[in-house]
Amino acid sequence: MDEESVRQKVREGYTQIAMLDSVGCGNGVSCCGSSPEAAEELVRHIGYSSDELAALPEGANMGLSCGNPTAIAALRPGEVVLDLGAGGGFDVFIAGRKVSATGRAMGVDMTAEMLAKARRNAVVYRENTGFDNVEFRLGEIEHLPVADASVDVIISNCVINLSPDKPQVWREMARVLKPGGRVAVSDLALFQPLPETVIETVEALIGCVAGAVLVLETEQMARAAGLVDIVLNTKPDYVKTLLSLEDPLYQKILAQLPPGATAADYITSLEVTARKR
């Protein structure tokens, strides 16, 4: 598919997810467990604390995470944080508490229904915290609606590999970061190329799998954008957890792999940290 067709398929898939009443995708087309209980178990497994989850507005956690970027970002009070692909606001609300009333947490998402959900959740967040420090903007992560050199930290959680133009995403990240600003991203990447039968399925595309690139390619894109001090940390246990939870998408992937192979041989959660000079 061409770039705009990819964006449209992703937008349609996540519109459906945003409109569901229950946690997670319900139809196996996202990076989530197969039930609300499994989604809750998943985010705990990847490092979110009970206190963080309890403080979230209801419905903010839709089970779409593959890592914990707010943890590896080492956020500090007073910082300006930008979340790429904010969804219902899950990581924005956690980041907002970490940067406190003197900081700011912004989220960008291209799906209007997700944005509406996040803004509704923001009302509850403000009531619970007393902070008026979060906002959500409609836009594509390849063309961020954010000023040059205005952000201290960029976070993202299982979103960048949904983009059909990942090098442009990394260039945009470098553009909006202040000098010395930091990147803390959790995403999916590949140890080896996936079979074509997996890549061609729309479910895998929406589920952050078909668009994943090799670990080394991620580093190359970040470096080409001008970022430095790039550190990559693979987390293969994430995929093993999804398999143990019998996630529908990963069961489909498993069925299309060579005999004896498992999804964890191909796919990994990847933490990326970097800095702008």
| Ordered domains of the chain (ranges, CATH) | 3-276 (3.40.50.150)
pLDDT for 22 beyond 60: no
pLDDT at residue 272 in the model: 98
pLDDT band at 21 (very low <50, low <70, confident <90, very high): low
CA angle 32, 37, 42 (to 5 degrees): 45
Say which residue, 245 or 43, is predicted with more confidence: 43
% of residues, the chain, pLDDT over 90: 64
**Within 13 Å and on the Cβ side, how many CA atoms surround 119?**
11
Cα–Cα distance between 63 and 41 in angstroms, integer? 9
Segment 247-263 mean pLDDT:
87
What DSSP string describes 89-136?
SHHHHHHHHHHTTTSEEEEEES-HHHHHHHHHHHHHHHHHH----EEE
State the Rg of the chain over Cα: 17
18-22, 65-69, 115-119, 137-141, range with the lowest pLDDT: 18-22
Rounded to the nearest integer, the mean pLDDT of the chain is: 89
pLDDT band at 58 (very low <50, low <70, confident <90, very high): confident
pLDDT at residue 18 in the model: 81
pLDDT for 43 beyond 70: yes
For residue 164 the two structure tokens come to: 């059909």
Token pair 């890592």 is found at: 67
Cα–Cα distance between 234 and 268 in angstroms, integer? 6
pLDDT at residue 37 in the model: 66
Cα–Cα distance between 93 and 137 in angstroms, integer? 14
Segment 125-146 mean pLDDT:
97
Total residue length of the chain: 277
